[in-house]
C-alpha cells in the first residue's frame, strides 16, 4: 500500500512540475509574440515590459529577443537596457552571432558617447578575435586604426598581421557580394525582382561599396608603414623561423610585391620558399614574376601557365590574369584584362585597370585637347562599368577623377561637335564613345 502511495505521489509531482514548465513555456511564447509584434511595428516603449520579462524568465527562447531588444534599447535611448540585452545575450548565446553582437554594441556605445575609446576597443577586439568578417564596416576600419596607432612604432608586424587578417575577411565578403549582386541586377533590369530581393540588392550594393572604401582606407593607412625600408629588415630577421610557414610566406611575398620591393634579393628568396613549401598556384604565379625579372621570359610563361592550370577557382584565375596584365602595357595589357573578365565578368578591378591604361595614353592618343579629353570619356565609361558590376571595387575615386577631365561644353562647341554624337578614339585604344 505504501509503494502505491509513493508511486501516486511521485506521479502527481511529475505531472505538476511538468505542468508548471509547460505553463511557463506557454507564457514565454505569448510574451515573445507580443514583444516581437510591438518591436517590429515600431511600438518600442510598449515592447519594453515584455522584453524585460523575456530577459529574466526566458533568456534562451530565441536569439531574436536580443536582436529586436538591441533595437528597442537604441530607439528608446535606454543604455541600462542596452547593456542588459548585450550581456544576457552573450551568456545565453555565446557563439551565435557573437562577433556581430560585440560590434553592434560598440557602435551603440560610440553613438551615445557611453564609453571611452579604450573600452570600445576592448569590445571590438572581442569581435575581431571571433570573426572579423562579421564586424560592421566602420568598426573594421576603427579597429585597424587603433591597432596601427598602438603598434606602428613598437611592433609593425602586429599591424601587418592584423591588416592581412582584416583584408582576407573583407575579400571574402566582397567575393560573396560579387556572386550575389549580378543575378539580382539582372532580375531588376528585367522587372522580375521581388520586393525582398530588391531590398537585398540595395543592402548588398551599399555594403559592398562601403567595404570597397574600407579596403582603400586600410591600404592608405598601411602604405605609410609598410615601406621597403621597413619590410626588408623585418622579413630578413624572421625568415628562418617562418621559412616553412605557408601563411607567413604568402603574406610576406604579397606585401613585398605590392610595395614594389621585388628588386631586393629577399623577394626571390621568399618566393622560392613559398613555392617550395606550398606548391600552390599562387606561389607559382609569384615565382613567374621572379623568372621574368631575371630575364627568363620562357620560364616565366611556363610557370604562369602552371599556376593558371593548377588553379580551379574562376575568381582566382581572373586575379592571375589581371596580375599578368599589370606587368605589361597597351593593347597586350588590355587583352589580358579582358581575359580576366572571361573568368569573372563582374571583376571591377579589371575594368578599372583598363580605364587606367586609357588615362595614361590620353596625351599620346589625341592630336588636340578635345581628342585627348575624349580618351578620359573612354576611361570614365570603364570606371562606371566597374562601379555597376562591382560596387566594392572602389571605382568612385576614379570616376570623380576622370569626370573632371572630360571635354567641357565650350570645348565641344569650339570643336564643332554636338553632345550625344559619337567619336572614334584612335591609337591602340580604337574605341567609339559618345560625346558628353
Average pLDDT over residues 176-187: 87
**Range with lowest mean pLDDT among 22-31, 237-246, 384-393:** 22-31
Q: Please tell me the predicted confidence (pLDDT) of residue 153.
A: 86
Q: Please tell me the predicted confidence (pLDDT) of residue 429.
A: 96
Average pLDDT over the chain, rounded to an integer: 88
- In a domain, residue 222? The reply is no
CATH number at residue 425: 1.25.40
pLDDT digits (tens, 9 = 90+) for 267-313: 999 999 999 999 999 999 999 988 988 889 899 889 999 999 999 99
- In a domain, residue 344? The reply is yes
CATH number at residue 255: 1.25.40.10
CA dist 272 and 285 (Å) reads 11
Domain match, 294 and 248 both: yes
**Range with lowest mean pLDDT among 10-14, 70-74, 347-351:** 10-14
Boundary of a domain, candidates 311, 335, 362: 311
Q: Which of 428, 424, 416 is closest to 365 using CA atoms?
A: 428
Domain match, 333 and 428 both: yes
Residue 18 has pLDDT above 60, yes or no: no
Burial code (b: 16+ CB inside 10 Å, e: under 16) for 207-243 equals bbbbbbbbbeebeebbeebbebeebbeebeeebeebb
Q: Which of 311, 273, 314, 310 is closest to 290 using CA atoms?
A: 273
Domain match, 306 and 329 both: no
Domain match, 331 and 431 both: yes
Q: How many residues does the chain have?
A: 436
- In a domain, residue 54? The reply is no
- In a domain, residue 411? The reply is yes
**pLDDT band of 347, cuts 50, 70, 90:** very high
Domain match, 430 and 329 both: yes
Give the list of residues 6+ apart from residue 196 with CB closer than 8 angstroms, or none.
none
**Could you tell me the residue range of the domain that residue 405 belongs to?**
325-435
**pLDDT band of 12, cuts 50, 70, 90:** very low
Burial (Cβ within 10 Å: 0-12, 13-18, ≥19) of residue 141: buried
Domain match, 291 and 364 both: no
Distances in Å between the Cα of 112 and the Cα atoms of 48, 139, 372 are: 20, 15, 52
Residue 11 has pLDDT above 70, yes or no: no
- In a domain, residue 4? The reply is no
Domain match, 399 and 336 both: yes
**pLDDT band of 249, cuts 50, 70, 90:** very high
- In a domain, residue 167? The reply is no
- In a domain, residue 71? The reply is no
Q: Please tell me the predicted confidence (pLDDT) of residue 113.
A: 87
Domain match, 296 and 341 both: no
Q: Please tell me the predicted confidence (pLDDT) of residue 16.
A: 39
The answer to whether 349 touches 336, Cβ cutoff 8 Å, is: no
pTM comes to 0.71
> Per the structure, how many domains does the chain have?
2
Boundary of a domain, candidates 286, 311, 336: 311
CA dist 55 and 59 (Å) reads 5
Average pLDDT over residues 184-194: 90
pLDDT digits (tens, 9 = 90+) for 254-273: 999 888 898 899 999 999 99
**pLDDT band of 5, cuts 50, 70, 90:** low
- In a domain, residue 401? The reply is yes
Burial code (b: 16+ CB inside 10 Å, e: under 16) for 268-286 equals bbbbbbbbebbebbbbbbb
Amino acid at each position: 500500500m505504501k509503494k502505491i502511495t509513493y508511486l501516486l505521489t511521485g506521479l502527481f509531482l511529475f505531472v505538476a512540475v511538468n505542468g508548471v514548465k509547460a505553463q511557463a513555456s506557454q507564457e514565454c511564447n505569448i510574451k515573445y509574440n507580443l514583444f516581437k509584434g510591438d518591436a517590429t511595428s515600431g511600438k518600442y516603449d510598449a515592447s519594453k515590459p515584455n522584453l524585460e520579462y523575456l530577459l529574466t524568465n526566458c533568456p534562451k527562447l530565441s536569439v531574436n529577443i536580443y536582436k529586436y531588444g538591441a533595437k528597442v534599447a537604441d530607439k528608446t535611448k535606454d543604455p541600462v537596457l542596452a547593456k542588459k540585452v548585450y550581456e544576457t545575450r552573450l551568456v545565453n548565446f555565446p557563439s551565435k552571432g557573437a562577433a556581430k553582437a560585440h560590434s553592434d554594441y560598440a557602435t551603440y556605445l560610440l553613438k551615445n558617447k557611453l564609453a571611452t575609446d579604450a573600452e570600445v576597443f576592448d569590445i571590438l577586439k572581442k569581435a575581431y578575435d571571433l570573426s572579423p568578417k562579421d564586424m560592421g564596416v566602420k568598426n573594421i576600419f576603427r579597429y585597424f586604426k587603433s591597432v596601427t596607432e598602438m603598434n606602428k612604432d613598437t611592433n609593425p608586424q602586429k599591424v601587418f598581421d592584423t591588416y592581412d587578417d582584416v583584408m582576407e575577411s573583407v575579400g571574402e565578403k566582397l567575393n560573396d557580394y560579387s556572386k550575389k549582386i549580378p543575378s539580382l541586377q539582372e532580375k531588376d533590369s528585367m522587372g522580375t525582382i521581388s520586393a525582398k530581393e530588391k531590398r537585398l540588392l540595395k543592402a548588398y550594393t551599399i555594403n559592398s561599396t562601403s567595404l570597397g572604401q574600407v579596403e582603400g582606407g586600410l591600404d592608405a593607412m598601411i602604405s605609410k608603414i609598410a615601406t621597403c625600408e621597413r619590410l626588408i629588415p623585418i622579413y630578413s630577421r624572421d625568415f628562418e623561423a617562418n621559412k616553412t610557414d605557408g601563411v607567413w610566406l604568402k603574406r610576406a611575398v604579397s606585401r613585398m610585391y605590392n610595395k614594389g620591393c621585388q628588386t631586393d634579393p629577399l623577394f626571390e628568396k621568399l618566393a622560392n620558399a613559398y613555392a617550395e613549401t606550398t606548391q600552390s598556384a599562387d606561389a607559382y604565379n609569384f615565382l613567374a614574376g621572379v623568372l621574368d625579372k631575371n630575364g627568363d621570359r620562357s620560364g616565366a610563361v611556363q610557370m604562369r601557365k602552371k599556376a593558371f592550370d593548377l588553379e580551379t577557382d574562376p575568381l582566382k584565375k581572373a586575379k592571375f590574369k589581371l596580375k599578368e596584365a599589370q606587368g605589361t602595357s597597351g593593347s597586350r595589357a588590355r587583352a589580358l584584362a579582358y581575359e580576366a573578365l572571361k573568368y569573372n565578368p563582374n571583376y571591377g578591378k579589371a575594368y578599372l585597370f583598363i580605364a587606367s591604361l586609357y588615362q595614361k595614353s590620353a596625351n599620346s592618343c589625341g592630336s588636340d585637347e578635345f581628342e585627348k579629353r575624349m580618351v578620359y570619356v573612354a576611361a570614365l565609361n570603364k570606371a562606371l562599368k566597374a562601379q555597376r558590376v562591382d560596387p566594392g571595387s572602389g571605382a568612385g575615386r576614379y570616376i570623380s577623377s576622370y569626370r573632371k577631365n572630360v571635354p567641357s561644353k565650350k570645348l565641344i562647341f569650339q570643336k564643332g561637335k554636338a553632345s550625344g554624337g559619337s567619336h572614334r578614339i584612335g591609337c591602340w585604344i580604337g574605341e567609339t564613345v559618345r560625346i558628353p
